[in-house]
A and B are shown apart, each in its own frame.
Chain A
Amino acid sequence: MEEYDVIVIGAGHNGLTVAGYLAKAGLNVCVLERAGFIGGEAITRELTVPGFKHDRSSSIHGLIHANPLLLNDELGLLSKHGLKYIFPDSNMSYIFPDETSMVSYPDLDKTCQQIAQFSEKDADTYRSFCEESKPMLDMLVAGMFNPPPPLGEFYAQLDRSPEGQQILRHLFMSGYDIVNKLFEHEKTKIAMLKFMSEPMVAPEDKGTAFYLYAAIPLSHYFPHGIPIGGSGMLSEALGSAIKTYGGVIKVASEVKKITVKGGRAASVILASGEEISARRAIVANLDPRLVFPHMISETDKGFAARIAEIQDPGFSAILQHMALNEAPKWKAGEHIGKSISIEPLCWLENLRRLFDDLRYGLIPSPENLAPCIFCTTVLDPTRAPAGKHTLYLWHYMPYFLKDGGPRKWDEIKTQVADMVLDKMRLHTTNMGPENIIARTTYSPIDYERMNPNVVNGSILGPGSYLHQFFSHRPIPELGQYRTPVEGLYMSGQSFHPGGSITGGGRATVQVIMADLKIDFSNVIKQ
């Protein structure tokens, strides 16, 4: 039987990050991946026609730039493994229904000037909001790539100062409550609410104001970037680092079972029947609902019940990839196209109704649409044949449709995709059929079919709710990456710091190394 020190199940970017640090520490590591390629949903592939490379799911890399994995290049991804980022001048362009626009730049002054087009007061408020959030942000960022603090301690720390108490009060409110209180102009409110909903939260849900505090000021301190060649270049760099440190990656190797011997996670059994054993640890980089009880049944009933309580986000999304003859021409101005993300919005009441539609399992009405659009080839032409472009047209959608459930998507996918494309057409002049070479659409249920780890279409993992936060993500018993089975650890988007491209595996690996008596601080110094 093949044997390794550590087996990592799932080659998403978090699993690869865990494997990278463990391999660097000198452990004999094996990563097992079900798909025929590594990266999970941090992958870039030809999805429409040959020559056009699309980021299948994740595209913009934000939080990871605050992670010492890249800040200090701890695994040599930037210096030795070919990972290179482009940091565009503008993060986001919001287009309002009247074709006015607001651009969000990494530069706070420039962003405030954009807001001041509509309201000087809002520009001043925005500036002070970003500056006043900085201390909490520093605390959050420091904790994001390390094992999570106990949830209660985080609250207790905030509760020790008047400023902290104010933030604490706000955290339990909804993003909408705060935006409405802080800002006066409808356009500022719409842009802020759309931005803060990105972790797949409805802005009127209580406890979502956290994302207003975290996401918006953070975009000024850690600019968003895109890897040259595509999001998948991060995964490729991690794969290259693992191999350089002596690790092994096996694709097309689906794990069916984890065996437990003498109370310890001992080996894995692949779909082929092959058994591979782990001397020191097994790390499942998966949603825990795929592990318990499907891969491992040796847990008590209470634990199984708590796993079943994990709550999904309120909605999923529909994604259209297109191969284009030319980049979209925006009515709101040429400068719009230079942002990483372009977001044609609806009016405030419509935006509120959008999240109501999602809550009730309805397809949003055309007037309530607010898509997210990336044309990354404007910034990185290496992803398409010369002069041609790729397009990523994304929109929140319910996974469970009121009429027909998730499977109903197979009937209505194209019709809904067309409606979202029509919204984009309202704001562009060249998105007719003659510009579209090919299109591939993924519905919420397709996301899950492509990658079973996207349980119930939850693109960023279990819902980003306060009760599934920090050491309580996704349930308190798994919040420190340990499981009821000795030697079995968990990582990935279901755990702190959560979904999206974060390199969060750096936090997981510190717990594993502590248990294996490996000094993490020494490993990162090397």
Chain B
Amino acid sequence: MTAIDMKICIKCTGCIDICPESALFLGEDAAIKCDYEKCISCGDCVDYCPVNAISIND
């Protein structure tokens, strides 16, 4: 499960485009969201995030 901590996220939105499956998106509530149907837990977003706001939990 990809989790985004919006308390840490600075909303650079870079993770949205780095995701190879287009699973990440900007939600109506102004938070970065993950579509778990699409997410393959590859960790590219985790590596890219400049503030370590994203983690992948089992």
Q: Show the binding face of A for B, using Cβ within 8 Å.
A: 35-37, 45-50, 56, 251-252, 438, 440, 442, 446, 449-450
- A448 CB to closest chain B CB (Å) equals 8
Cα–Cα distance between A254 and B35 once the two chains are bound (Å):
25
Q: Which residues of B contact A446 (CB under 8 A)?
A: 10, 12
Inter-chain contact A35/B26, CB cutoff 8 Å:
no
- A53 CB to closest chain B CB (Å) equals 11
- Scoring B10, B17, B51 by chain A CB atoms within 10 A of each residue's CB, the highest score goes to B10
Q: Which residues of B contact A50 (CB under 8 A)?
A: 26-28
Inter-chain contact B30/A438, CB cutoff 8 Å:
yes
Cα–Cα distance between A353 and B27 once the two chains are bound (Å):
41
Inter-chain contact B30/A252, CB cutoff 8 Å:
no
Q: Does B34 contact A (CB under 8 A)?
A: no
Inter-chain contact A450/B28, CB cutoff 8 Å:
no
Q: Which residues of A contact B27 (CB under 8 A)?
A: 50
- A432 CB to closest chain B CB (Å) equals 18
Q: Which residues of A contact B29 (CB under 8 A)?
A: 49
CB closest residue in chain A, given B49: A449
Cα–Cα distance between A45 and B11 once the two chains are bound (Å):
11
Inter-chain contact B19/A36, CB cutoff 8 Å:
yes
CB closest residue in chain B, given A38: B17
CB closest residue in chain A, given B15: A36
Inter-chain contact A47/B44, CB cutoff 8 Å:
no
Cα–Cα distance between A449 and B44 once the two chains are bound (Å):
16
Q: Does B39 contact A (CB under 8 A)?
A: no
Cα–Cα distance between A517 and B54 once the two chains are bound (Å):
48
Number of A-B contacts (CB under 8 A): 46
**Please, what's the 1-or-0 string for B1-41, where 1 marks a CB less than 8 Å from any CB in chain A?**
00000000011111011111000001111100000000000
Q: Does B43 contact A (CB under 8 A)?
A: no
Cα–Cα distance between A36 and B23 once the two chains are bound (Å):
13
20 CB-based A-B contacts, threshold 8 Å: A35-B14, A36-B16, A36-B17, A36-B18, A37-B17, A45-B13, A46-B26, A47-B11, A49-B26, A50-B26, A50-B28, A56-B12, A252-B17, A252-B18, A252-B44, A440-B30, A446-B12, A449-B10, A449-B51, A450-B50
Inter-chain contact B28/A36, CB cutoff 8 Å:
no
Inter-chain contact A442/B13, CB cutoff 8 Å:
no
Cα–Cα distance between A356 and B51 once the two chains are bound (Å):
31
Interface size of B in residues (CB-CB distance below 8 Å): 19
Known: A37-B17, A50-B26, A446-B12. 12 other contacts (CB 8 A): A35-B18, A36-B16, A49-B29, A56-B12, A251-B17, A252-B18, A252-B20, A440-B30, A442-B12, A449-B51, A450-B10, A450-B14
CB closest residue in chain B, given A449: B50
Inter-chain contact B12/A449, CB cutoff 8 Å:
yes
Q: Show the binding face of B for A, using Cβ within 8 Å.
A: 10-14, 16-20, 26-30, 44, 48, 50-51
Cα–Cα distance between A251 and B27 once the two chains are bound (Å):
24
Cα–Cα distance between A202 and B52 once the two chains are bound (Å):
34
- Scoring B17, B19, B48 by chain A CB atoms within 10 A of each residue's CB, the highest score goes to B17
Q: Which residues of B contact A49 (CB under 8 A)?
A: 26, 28-30
Cα–Cα distance between A450 and B10 once the two chains are bound (Å):
9
Inter-chain contact A47/B28, CB cutoff 8 Å:
no
**10 nearest CB pairs, A to B:** A36-B17, A449-B50, A450-B12, A36-B18, A438-B30, A440-B11, A37-B17, A446-B10, A49-B30, A46-B26
Cα–Cα distance between A440 and B11 once the two chains are bound (Å):
7
CB closest residue in chain B, given A50: B26
Cα–Cα distance between A252 and B29 once the two chains are bound (Å):
27
Cα–Cα distance between A35 and B18 once the two chains are bound (Å):
7
Cα–Cα distance between A450 and B12 once the two chains are bound (Å):
6
CB closest residue in chain B, given A46: B26
- A439 CB to closest chain B CB (Å) equals 8
Q: Which residues of A contact B17 (CB under 8 A)?
A: 35-37, 251-252
Q: Which residues of B contact A450 (CB under 8 A)?
A: 10, 12, 14, 50
Cα–Cα distance between A56 and B11 once the two chains are bound (Å):
10
Cα–Cα distance between A47 and B16 once the two chains are bound (Å):
11
Q: Which residues of A contact B26 (CB under 8 A)?
A: 46-47, 49-50
Cα–Cα distance between A50 and B13 once the two chains are bound (Å):
12
- A325 CB to closest chain B CB (Å) equals 15
CB closest residue in chain A, given B11: A440
Cα–Cα distance between A442 and B10 once the two chains are bound (Å):
7
Inter-chain contact B14/A36, CB cutoff 8 Å:
yes
Inter-chain contact A46/B13, CB cutoff 8 Å:
yes
CB closest residue in chain B, given A439: B30
- A262 CB to closest chain B CB (Å) equals 34
Q: Which residues of B contact A56 (CB under 8 A)?
A: 12
CB closest residue in chain A, given B50: A449
- A289 CB to closest chain B CB (Å) equals 17
Cα–Cα distance between A48 and B18 once the two chains are bound (Å):
18
Q: Which residues of B contact A440 (CB under 8 A)?
A: 11, 30
